């Protein structure tokens, strides 16, 4: 695969070096340096800040298929990782066009400045369509992305580093992305011209404990918006410590890395919580680990699902939703044991996108119903979870779709 630079300098200031030795030249943006990671592509047209700060992208370089990224600048509101100071999210980024000056009333910073502050190494000026086609054909490659303003690169060393990187299989990144300690959450969903309100004690009807494997903020906001008081706990919290908090329900968050690796400490905890008949809701990595906890298997995907235009069918309603996706591993639907039902399926490739336990208040989905970015077709799943809590308490249920 070749790439034609879109600028006229004498030499490239950024390189993407794939594990097979392919070298792609570009123009450096964002932070300087180099990093090993997996390269994926994202088909979303909007929401680049939310994408780049989603902890599920830790260990990955995001190639945007939409050519113009950065037009609306950057701000402090469209951030999804829980601890921005730790900068959990994508480690690299690839654009087709140069970043233009921002033109949006919410912009507080040029995207290039924001990338530098976040430590995200990037490049522009390459044929992202060709790179995307390569990934579709060959799968998500291990690679090194490097940025040097002087264009000084040791290509042999970069090739060796790309080839030597072990990749995401068997890699536990949740322990990197998780919170270091327990914390309370009271921020509610964003409202136009008002920003983020907070949940008052009088409005907090239910206590949800969120196991944080790299949770996104908007997941927590949507739960808080339904009257849930949330306690966030680290990924390696024991079942005894979760139960000591006396939760009305437990949430299993999204996150990065291989679920089988994270599962060595989290899966036994999930099994214990299932046995307590607590309402449980999992998203993304949380869905995969719930699958492992009930005896299913997970597998690495060829190119993964990354974007905001993925069609998923909910078998429980018969409806098709357009959803936001971000995952490179999936639950093997053929491995689901008796007593576990497949509730959602991808209409792109038929992979599993949801499950529930028969006779128990436990379910999960692979996609991101909280969006940010993406459509809001699946917001009803948060009401479905709260209804499980309300049902357990003998309360009147919410209409699933508001």
- The CATH number linked to 150 is 3.50.30.20
CA 368 to chain CA centroid, Å, is 8
Residues 43 and 100 in one domain: yes
Tokens for 32?
């300087």
- In the structure, what pLDDT confidence band is assigned to residue 84 with cuts at 50, 70 and 90? low
- Which residue among 131, 164, 197 closes a domain? 164
- In the structure, what pLDDT confidence band is assigned to residue 159 with cuts at 50, 70 and 90? very high
Residues 350 and 298 in one domain: yes
Residues 107 and 209 in one domain: no
- Which residue among 138, 164, 190 closes a domain? 164
Asked if the structure places residue 400 within a domain, the reply is no
- The CATH number linked to 333 is 3.40.50.880
Residues 115 and 192 in one domain: no
Neighbours of 23 (CB within 10 A): 17
Is the pLDDT assigned to residue 9 strictly greater than 60?
A: no
What's the pLDDT at 85? 60
What pTM, to 2 d.p., does this model score?
A: 0.95
Cα-atom radius of gyration of the chain, to the nearest Å? Answer: 21
The pLDDT of 220-228, averaged and rounded, is 97
223 against 9, higher pLDDT: 223
How many domains are there within the chain? 2
Those residues with Cβ within 8 angstroms of residue 232's Cβ, 6 or more apart along the chain or in another chain: 82, 179, 182, 183, 184, 185, 210, 212, 215, 220
Q: What is the pLDDT of residues 115-146, one digit of tens each?
A: 999 999 999 999 999 999 999 999 999 999 99
Residues 273 and 249 in one domain: yes
What's the pLDDT at 401? 83
- In the structure, what pLDDT confidence band is assigned to residue 180 with cuts at 50, 70 and 90? confident
CA 71 to chain CA centroid, Å, is 23
Active site amino acids: 284, 368, 370
Q: What does pLDDT average to over the chain? A: 95
Domain containing 134 equals 14-164
- Which residue among 122, 138, 164 closes a domain? 164
Residues 182 and 48 in one domain: no
With a pLDDT cut of 70, the percent of the chain lying above it is: 97
Asked if the structure places residue 9 within a domain, the reply is no
What's the pLDDT at 202? 83
How far apart (Å, rounded) are the C-alpha atoms in residues 249 and 236?
18
- In the structure, what pLDDT confidence band is assigned to residue 95 with cuts at 50, 70 and 90? very high
Residues 184 and 124 in one domain: no
**Beta pairing, strands 298-314 & 340-346:** antiparallel
Residues 112 and 33 in one domain: yes
């Amino acid at each position: 695969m070749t790439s034609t630079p879109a600028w006229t300098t004498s030499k490239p200031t950024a390189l993407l070096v794939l594990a097979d030795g392919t070298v792609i030249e570009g123009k450096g943006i964002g932070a300087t340096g180099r990093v090993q990671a997996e390269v994926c592509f994202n088909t979303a047209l909007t929401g680049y800040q939310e994408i780049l700060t989603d902890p599920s992208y830790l260990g990955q370089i995001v190639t945007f298929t939409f050519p113009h990224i950065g037009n609306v600048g950057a701000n402090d509101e469209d951030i999804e990782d829980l601890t921005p100071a730790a900068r959990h999210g994508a480690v690299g980024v690839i654009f087709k066009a140069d970043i233009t000056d921002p033109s949006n009333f919410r912009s507080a910073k040029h995207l290039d400045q924001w990338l530098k502050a976040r430590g995200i190494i990037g490049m522009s000026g390459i044929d992202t369509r060709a790179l995307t086609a390569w990934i579709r054909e060959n799968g998500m490659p291990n690679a090194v992305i490097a940025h040097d303003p002087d264009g000084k690169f040791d290509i042999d060393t970069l090739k060796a580093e790309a080839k030597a990187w072990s990749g995401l299989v068997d890699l536990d990144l949740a322990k990197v992305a998780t919170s270091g300690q327990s914390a309370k959450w009271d921020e509610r969903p964003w409202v136009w011209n008002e920003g983020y309100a907070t949940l008052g004690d009088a409005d907090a009807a239910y206590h949800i404990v969120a196991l944080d494997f790299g949770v996104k903020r908007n997941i927590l906001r949507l739960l808080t918006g339904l009257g849930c008081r949330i306690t966030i706990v680290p990924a390696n919290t024991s079942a005894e410590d979760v139960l000591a908090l006396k939760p009305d329900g437990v949430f299993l968050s999204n996150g990065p890395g291989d679920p089988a690796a994270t599962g060595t400490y989290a899966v036994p905890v999930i099994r214990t919580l299932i046995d307590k008949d607590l309402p449980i809701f999992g998203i993304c990595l949380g869905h995969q680990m719930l699958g492992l906890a009930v005896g299913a298997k997970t597998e690495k995907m060829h190119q993964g699902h990354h974007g905001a235009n993925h069609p998923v069918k909910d078998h429980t309603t018969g409806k098709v939703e357009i959803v936001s996706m971000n995952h490179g591993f999936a639950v093997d639907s053929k491995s689901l044991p008796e007593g576990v039902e497949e509730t959602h399926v991808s209409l792109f490739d038929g992979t599993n996108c949801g499950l529930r336990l028969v006779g128990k208040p436990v379910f999960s989905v692979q996609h991101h119903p909280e969006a940010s970015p993406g459509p809001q077709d699946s917001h009803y799943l948060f009401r479905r979870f709260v209804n499980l809590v309300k049902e357990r308490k003998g309360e009147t249920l919410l209409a699933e779709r508001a």
